[in-house]
Amino acid sequence: MKELCVKAYAKLNLSLDVLGAMGNGYHEMRMVMQSVTLADDVSIRLTDSGTVALRTNLGFLPNDERNIAAKAARLFFAEAGMEGAGAEIRLHKRVPVGAGLGGGSSDAAAVLRGLNEMTGTGFSREKLERLGARLGSDVPFCVAGGTQLASGRGDELRDLPPLPDCPIVICKPPFPIQTPALFACIDSRRSRIHPDTEGLLAALDGGDLVGLARRMYNVFEDVLPRRCAEIGQIKSRFLDLGALGTVMSGTGSAVFALFDSEALAEQARAELGRSYRECFLTRPLGRIL
């Protein structure tokens, strides 16, 4: 196969806990992660150029070896022993960048999955996840997606029962948040509130969307700088518009809300869409591998 187009789905953190610093520059996490249908398109063409070329529809993204999708292709070829192989990758970005939605991680995972299929290499899901961990902490989850519990650096994964189908609205305010800076703020906090992860997992087990939505919690919200006050305002607006629950995803700045009514979700998207350019109505997605 010479050419393939794969989807790179956005991820949400239904809950996010930071247990502590690991002493190697990373932190021990406990996160319930969920894929959604909002996605980038990743087109891959195999060449025998020995190089990886990349183009995107966003001018400000790097299109050289700094882009994680290009790194993924080079890592794959090296691991598969395909020294002379090359690829042309086109990224059509829809997932907001710098949002905590795992856009770059998902692009990288999609390249690993796509090249595995196109070249007939046949690496297992676990092998692709291990390769993903060398590219970034959220890449392993994005290899198979669905609903998973992520521990350790984010690369120790356990499949969970799927999130009940429901409309989800994502709203990204127009400022990015720097991930390492937010981890540093967490480190400087002495005591912290922790999410009720066990309660959330039990709600997931019982298919209890209301109980789950009520337990969504992200510890990074407790250490947001003052300039990010809009995050709280977006959450209030979601709740006023009938959301079951709302939380920031990852290190932000995107906020999402779960609804039990398509009409309310569409209304919330339209309402927040008047203030924010990047507002999406999406749905949960099951495992893809």
Nearer to ligand C5P, 26 or 276 (CB): 26
Which positions ≥6 away from 157 have C-beta within 8 Å?
Answer: 129, 140, 141, 148, 149, 150, 151
Contacts with ligand C5P by CB under 6 A lie at 25-27, 29, 136-138, 153-154, 179-180, 183
Among 93, 106, 116, 117, smallest CA distance to 34 is for 106
Nearer to ligand C5P, 142 or 255 (CB): 142
| Torsion angles phi and psi, residue 67, rounded to 5 | -75, 130
CB 184, min distance to ligand C5P, A: 8
11 is catalytic: yes
Nearer to ligand C5P, 86 or 176 (CB): 176
Nearer to ligand C5P, 137 or 218 (CB): 137
235 is catalytic: no
Q: CA-to-CA distance for 108 and 28, rounded, in angstroms?
A: 22
Q: CA-to-CA distance for 189 and 109, rounded, in angstroms?
A: 33
Nearer to ligand C5P, 68 or 234 (CB): 68
Pair 128, 113: CB distance under 8 Å: yes
CB 17, min distance to ligand C5P, A: 11
Residue nearest to ligand C5P (CB): 137
Pair 265, 281: CB distance under 8 Å: yes
Q: CA-to-CA distance for 212 and 243, rounded, in angstroms?
A: 12
CB 66, min distance to ligand C5P, A: 12
CB 22, min distance to ligand C5P, A: 7
Q: Could you write out the DSSP letters of every residue in 200-261?
A: HHHHHHTT-HHHHHHT-EEGGGGG--GGGTHHHHHHHHHHHTT-SEEEE-TTSS-EEEE-S-
CB 79, min distance to ligand C5P, A: 19
Say how many CA atoms lie within 13 Å of 86 toward its Cβ: 9
Which positions ≥6 away from 200 have C-beta within 8 Å?
Answer: 14, 15, 32, 212, 215, 216
Catalytic, out of 7, 11, 71, 172: 11
Catalytic, out of 40, 107, 138, 155: 138
Among all residues, which ones are annotated catalytic?
11, 138
